[in-house]
Chains A and B, each alone.
Chain A
């Protein structure tokens, strides 16, 4: 009831105010494509992104749609990349054909990169909600700078691999200091796939640049998904670690953490530079105590934000028991950023959209960040930031930085 009267009053008010109607009729709906990897090995996060995007679109529409365009509603067109680059490209083309004015996606950096040329060719702005590989935006920025392309249509609202690494090193050092301990030997273990390798490189590079008092004494990659990690863990143990720093995927985390305990690998704590597999509800159900006190530096919803809790509840309901986290959070935010861009652009012309994108300063983000959502000259959001999340009493809680922390961290790990 409230919504209808709100809309009515808006239209009436607009008529009374003599709001100049443009010569072209305002679109009733604006089609936005949400393309994610809903099937294939990355199906789980892909489906989470998709659901969050749908919820976000519903919220935007419930709040009145794009008011500057006469309350136009967002019509979400759904695509599935099947975690394959050629399919990703075909889906992008298909949905642009079906009328999508902007694209969002895809979670997997390889597929995202395949859509970039489509966005550039068809002049359709593409907001990357989740993908960490730096070249995705950097390449486009460079092409524009060198004059090979006229306009940049690809923007990313997610931390890049470089940023992940920098923050992780920063958090490691700060937490050690705050806890009053000085661990020296960090053993980095990572899954040898696109994401894991990207993170590992970012972390090591940031470590080299920052040169803190702790060392990465050993790097142990494993093929993802692994069937057996016993030898890798034996190697980690032989390196006498103070800290185990894992970069995992859900499948490998299910193997790694019990193995660490079985082989009695002693350490001050398990602190990850940022990866999935260490905080999801499904993982907690299977791993239980093995995850207790594990920390990982990941993009995280800011649960101090008034709307975050409500969103978490709705997401829990609509997903059949899943938790609002990194992926769903960023996809949700992504749609809202798109809505904000549309609101300021007041049109769906590509150039107007790009212009509005460049001027973005979206403060209502639900994710932990060090400032409003904005895009720098490469097209990335420099304020996108991870937070250190720790599993306390079987729940993931943000524990660092202090301004986003909902609890005090527990470090070093209490002896079992």
Chain B
């Protein structure tokens, strides 16, 4: 409830920071469904962001279709791509690192193709005109974006919670813990892994639309790039993959950290880049001292306190 009232008191800059926290938490939660709960590590989720973003942008620019509808078209296309990747990967028995590489390869291929197709803007990319018109999924006031991003994050968490509670979630954790055993017991592993992938990629695709209409410029190298995939998976992993609040906690830890690091070091002439070193060192520290992620660590602390 505090979150709802915050935009009233905070400066526009802090509102922007929160928008980014919520947005990346949303993407992280979407990833969490297949990467955390199902345990299928995907390092190419940027592909879905890109597909969603480009779809909505192209539909808006060429057909004037409002992004409110465009986002679902984008989500659907992302889901289809997710289904293809899932089928290819799971049907052929790719696990662990091999699945990771498959997802990276697909994301890179999307990037290269988009870079070379004129109709999608090629390497120049797409530029969306800022009108501030809600019908175009744009807002004159940054605070509106805050609520949209918050809404997205809550929606994804609700979906994840629903999955966690149901048989779906139970099957997924069985698959994550020991896929062979799960199969032996009769869990339809392929079906549920595919479902997780489809849900995850759909949500991520919808997020892509937000990305496009928040940042107003799409370039293949940014939107399909590995750095974006890394940003997506870092938060749930740091926060606790496979936990409900992991992506959210992770985002609340990492985004402010990045902002602070940049705030202190960005202006320092030749030492530009120090803030990213700090970010990297922090990641290493988190991994060394909280390898299960922040949420399980909190839980253990709380459990011990009782």
Residues of A within 8 A of B (CB): 38-39, 43, 47, 50-51, 77-80, 82, 84-87, 89-91, 93-94, 96-97, 109-111, 113-114, 116-117, 120-122, 133, 135-136, 139-140, 142-143, 146, 148-149, 192-194, 196-198, 201, 221, 223
B267 within 8 A of A: yes
Would B12 and A143 count as touching, CB distance under 8 A?
no
Cross-chain pairs A/B with CB under 8 angstroms, 10 sampled: A39-B273, A39-B276, A50-B269, A85-B217, A91-B266, A93-B12, A96-B12, A114-B216, A120-B130, A221-B116
Number of A-B contacts (CB under 8 A): 127
Contact of B216 among A38, A77, A84, A116 (CB under 8 A): A116
Give the CA-CA distance A39 to B280 in the complex, in Å: 15
Q: Which B96-140 residues have C-beta < 8 A from chain A?
A: 112, 115-116, 122-125, 127-133, 138, 140
| 4 more CB-based (< 8 A) A-B contacts, given A96-B12, A192-B115 | A89-B215, A117-B130, A121-B141, A142-B129
**Separation in Å of the A272 CB from the closest CB of chain B?**
18
A412 CB → nearest B CB, Å: 32
B contact set with A: CB distance below 8 Å: 11-17, 20, 112, 115-116, 122-125, 127-133, 138, 140-142, 214-217, 219, 221-222, 227, 259, 262-263, 266-267, 269-270, 272-273, 275-276
CB-contact partner of B132 in A142, A149, A196, under 8 A: A149
Given A39-B276, A110-B219, A148–B16 Cβ distance below 8 Å? no
CA distance A290 to B219 in the complex (A): 33
Given contacts A93-B13, A113-B217, contact A143 B123 (CB under 8 A): no
Q: Knowing A149-B131, A192-B116 touch, does A80 contact B262 (C-beta < 8 A)?
A: yes
Closest Cβ of chain A: how far from B262's Cβ, in Å?
A: 6
B59 to chain A, nearest CB (A): 17
The closest CB in chain B to the CB of A108 belongs to: B219
Q: Known: A90-B17, A94-B13. Is A139-B130 also a contact (CB below 8 A)?
A: yes
Q: Complex formed: what's the CA distance from A90 to B18 in Å?
A: 10
- B219-A89 in contact (CB<8A): no
| Residues in chain A near residue B130, CB distance under 8 A | 116-117, 120, 139-140, 143, 149
Q: Is the interface of A mostly helix, strand, loop or mixed?
A: helix
In the complex the two chains form, is A80's CB within 8 Å of B266's CB?
yes
Task: Provide the bound-state CA to CA distance between A86 and B210, in Å.
Answer: 12
The residue on B at minimum CB distance from A192 is B123
Distance in Å from the Cβ of A117 to the closest Cβ of chain B? 4
Does B215 contact A193, Cβ atoms closer than 8 Å?
no
Q: How far is the CB of A75 from chain B (nearest CB, A)?
A: 12
Minimum Cβ distance to chain B for residue A198 (Å): 5
Q: Given A86-B20, A113-B127, A133-B127, decide whether A120 and B132 contact each other with a Cβ distance below 8 A.
A: yes
Contacts of B216 in A (CB 8 A): 113-114, 116-117
Residue of B nearest to A198 (CB): B124
Nearest CB of chain A from residue B256's CB, rounded to whole Å: 11
Closest to B127 in A: A135
Q: Which residues of A contact B129 (CB under 8 A)?
A: 135, 139-140, 142-143, 148
Chain A neighbourhood of B221, CB < 8 A: 193-194
Whether A39 contacts B272 by the Cβ 8 Å rule is yes
Contacts of B217 in A (CB 8 A): 85, 109-111, 113-114
Give the complex CA separation of A38 and B267 in angstroms: 9
- B124 contacts A94, CB within 8 Å? no
B11 touches A43 (CB 8 A): no
Q: Are A38 and B20 in contact (CB under 8 A)?
A: no
Nearest-CB distance from A226 to chain B (Å)? 13
- Cα A110 to Cα B125 in complex, Å, equals 8
Closest chain-B Cβ to A109's Cβ sits at a distance in Å of 7
Chain A: minimal CB distance from B125 (Å): 6
Q: How far is the CA of A113 from the CA of B17 in the complex (A)?
A: 19
Q: Most B CB atoms within 10 A — which of A47, A51, A90, A146?
A: A90
Report whether A43 and B272 are in contact in the complex, using a CB–CB cutoff of 8 Å.
Answer: yes
Alpha-carbon distance between A356 and B121 when the two chains are bound, in angstroms: 35
A192 to B111, CA, bound (A): 12
Do B127 and A80 touch across chains, with their CB atoms under 8 A apart?
A: no
In the complex, what distance in Å separates the CA atom of A192 from the CA atom of B115? 8
Which of B122, B128, B266, B270 counts the most A-chain CB atoms under 10 A from its CB?
B266
Q: Which 3 A-B pairs have the closest CB atoms?
A: A113-B217, A148-B131, A135-B127
Alpha-carbon gap, A368 to B142, bound state (A): 39
Q: Which chain B positions have C-beta within 8 A of A39?
A: 272-273, 275-276
A residues near B269, Cβ cutoff 8 Å = 47, 50-51
Given A110-B217, A192-B115: A148 touches B132 (CB 8 Å cut-off): yes
Instruction: Name the B residues within 8 Å of A146 (CB-CB).
Output: 131
B112 touches A79 (CB 8 A): no
Residues of the B chain whose Cβ atoms lie less than 8 Å from the Cβ of A90: 13, 16-17, 20, 259
- Residues in B with CB closer than 8 Å to A93 are 12-13, 15-16, 142
Q: What's the nearest-Cβ distance from chain A to residue B143, in Å?
A: 10
Establish whether residues A197 and B112, one from each chain, have CB atoms under 8 Å apart when the complex forms: no
| Cβ-defined partner of B123 (8 Å) among A38, A47, A51, A196 | A196
Q: Which residues of B contact A196 (CB under 8 A)?
A: 123
Nearest chain-A residue to B115 (Cβ)? A192
Looking at B123, B138, B227, which has the most chain A CB atoms within 10 Å of its CB?
Answer: B123
Residues of B within 8 A of A109 (CB): 217
Q: Is the CB of A38 within 8 A of B266?
A: yes
Which residues from B are CB-within-8-Å of A192?
A: 115-116, 122-123
- Smallest CB–CB gap between B41 and chain A, Å? 24
Output the least CB separation between B218 and chain A (Å).
8
With A80-B266, A140-B129, A201-B124 as contacts: A97 and B13 at CB distance below 8 Å: yes
Residues of A within 8 A of B125 (CB): 110, 194
- Partner pick for A97 among B11, B127, B133, B267, CB 8 A cutoff: B11
A223 and B108 CA atoms in complex are apart in Å by: 12
Instruction: Determine the distance from Cα of A79 to Cα of B219 in the docked complex, in whole angstroms.
Output: 22
Distance of A129 from chain B, by nearest CB (Å): 18
Complex contact A143–B266 (CB within 8 A)? no
A200 to B127, CA, bound (A): 18
Question: By the criterion CB–CB under 8 Å, are B267 and A87 in contact?
Answer: no
Report A172 CB to chain B, min CB distance, Å.
22
User: Whole-angstrom distance between the alpha carbons of A198 and B122 in the complex?
Assistant: 9
